[in-house]
Amino acid sequence: MPFVTTADDTQIYYKDWGEGRPVLLSHGWPLNSDSWEAQQLFLAENGYRAIAHDRRGHGRSTQSWTGNEMDTYADDLAAVIEALDLHDVTLVGFSTGGGEVTRYIGRHGTARVAQVVLVAAVPPLMVRTEDNPGGVPVGVFDGIRAGSVADRSQLYRDLADGPFFGLNRPGASVSQGVRDAFWRQGLQAGHRNAYESIAAFSATDFRADLDAFDVPTLVIHGDDDQVVPFEVGGKASAARIKGATLLVYPGAPHGITDTHKQQLSEDLLSFLRSLP
């Protein structure tokens, strides 16, 4: 299997499909690059080099004891970009992956980046603070941490059967296979890695990183997202990024890489083709 080795000898697994201008897909918590398989296949079949990696501690990458926070996630992403010598790359980040992409730009700039897409992403800042009064109460994340310690397997079942795909809404329908894939990917992540990543996605302040965006940016978010609420995530990010385009999926939940996979794939392709 292909890996990139980081400065602290962590092995980052990646999949590299197709040929053409590169697109790098960054996944959500507690998933891995398999969660992008529909979009990765679609983009590779439509003339792009589609790359997806497993964040440290997730999927097939090293379950490192340290570095389970956004600065290191961003530096790992830089290691992948540099090892594969990517230029004019479009960075696409879903949920926690949107934070990873955003922090990458804050720390490493856009010299190699042509476009950015944030999909149901965690920036600017999820948790409620004095200067972020519309955020999600910290008790919500404390509950996820408690569930992770008490019964991580059941926590992932409950997320997949409830808010992640919007299955607690009337009329919602997602196959058992999709829910099982969420659970399987979640349990591939290391226990400590996934636990510490809860703080990384919920309490990292990305506002200064968003101010550094200087390339075309597309923000996509469902307005019934119960994991990263639209007002906290996509709406706030799009308002902060200069010139960003906001696409709202009416009634869509958090897990739109599955629930709206064809629409999302086509919107990504349209945005890629908008670049001269």
Please list the active-site residues. Answer: 95, 225, 254
Question: In whole angstroms, what is the distance from residue 114 CA to residue 104 CA?
Answer: 14
C-beta neighbour count of 151 within 10 angstroms: 12
Tell me the three state secondary structure of residue 178.
helix
C-alpha pair distances (Å), 130 with each of 115, 125, 133, 136, 272: 32, 12, 6, 12, 38
On the 0-12 / 13-18 / 19+ scale of CB atoms within 10 A, 247 is middle
DSSP characters over 97-129: HHHHHHHHHHHH-STTEEEEEEES---S--B-B
Distance from the Cα of residue 20 to its chain's centroid: 23
DSSP characters over 227-242: SS-TTTTHHHHHHHST
Residues in the chain: 276
Amino acid identity of residue 73, one-letter, is Y
* Backbone dihedral angles phi then psi of residue 144, each to the nearest 5 degrees: -65, -40
Question: In whole angstroms, what is the distance from residue 156 CA to residue 180 CA?
Answer: 9
Question: In whole angstroms, what is the distance from residue 221 CA to residue 225 CA?
Answer: 8
